[in-house]
Amino acid sequence: MKTVLLWLSVLLTTAVFATEQGELHPKLEPLRPYLNQHWQGDLTQPGAQTTVIDRSLWSRALNGQAIKTVHSINDGQYGGESFIFWDENQQSLAYYYFTTAGFYTHGSMTFDTQSGEIIALEQVENNQNGITQVKSFSRIMPDGSLQTKSSYLQNGNWVEGHSATYKPVAQQQIIFK
């Protein structure tokens, strides 16, 4: 009887947790660890005089058919919003990213189950700096931090982009001006 009660308790707890977290499209499930967490990363370049802080939040959207990310650098100096979803025609994760700088990107991503890494390749539209593509890599590390790294196709050449380690932080407002 104790065993039955224990199993019922575990099942009930699991069901309540799943309901609280909300269902996700099955192809989005590998991204669940990123959800409902506020992240903060320092993007300050070595030798720079001003600090560059990026704050973000990933959340479930559109009844679990998408994941929405919102981020803001230096409280609205720059920011953007993304929607990540399963594209049935492409048979891959796809996304659109809209920015406060007036450009947007669209691309696809894969999740490497062995390394736990998200690998994304996106096309950039309307960028004034000649950037036409971005490659990025993201991974939650064993200590719970989120490491990111990117490179840009700018004026026909691949150049190093930014890299950062984001740490989970207490709930904070994502600010746009």
**What pLDDT shows up at residue 35?**
94
pLDDT surpassing 70 at residue 50:
yes
Nearest to 28 by CA among 145, 110, 106, 127: 110
Return phi, psi of residue 151, to 5°: -140, 155
Q: Is 24 exposed, middle or buried (0-12, 13-18, 19+ CB in 10 A)?
A: buried
Tokens 């019922």 sit at which residue?
8
| H/E element, 123 | strand 117-125
The per-residue pLDDT for range 94-146, each reduced to its tens digit, is: 999 999 999 899 999 998 888 889 999 999 998 889 999 999 999 988 898 99
The CA distance from 90 to 130, in Å, is 27
The pair of three-digit structure tokens given for residue 110, joined into one six-digit string:
């894969």
Query: What are the E-state strand segments in 15-101?
Result: 37-42, 53-61, 66-73, 78-87, 92-99
The per-residue pLDDT for range 12-44, each reduced to its tens digit, is: 333 334 444 799 999 999 999 889 999 999 998
**What pLDDT shows up at residue 111?**
86
* Cβ count near 88 (within 10 Å): 9
Give the predicted TM-score (pTM) of the model.
0.81
Half-sphere exposure of 134 (CA within 13 A, CB side): 25
**What pLDDT shows up at residue 45?**
85
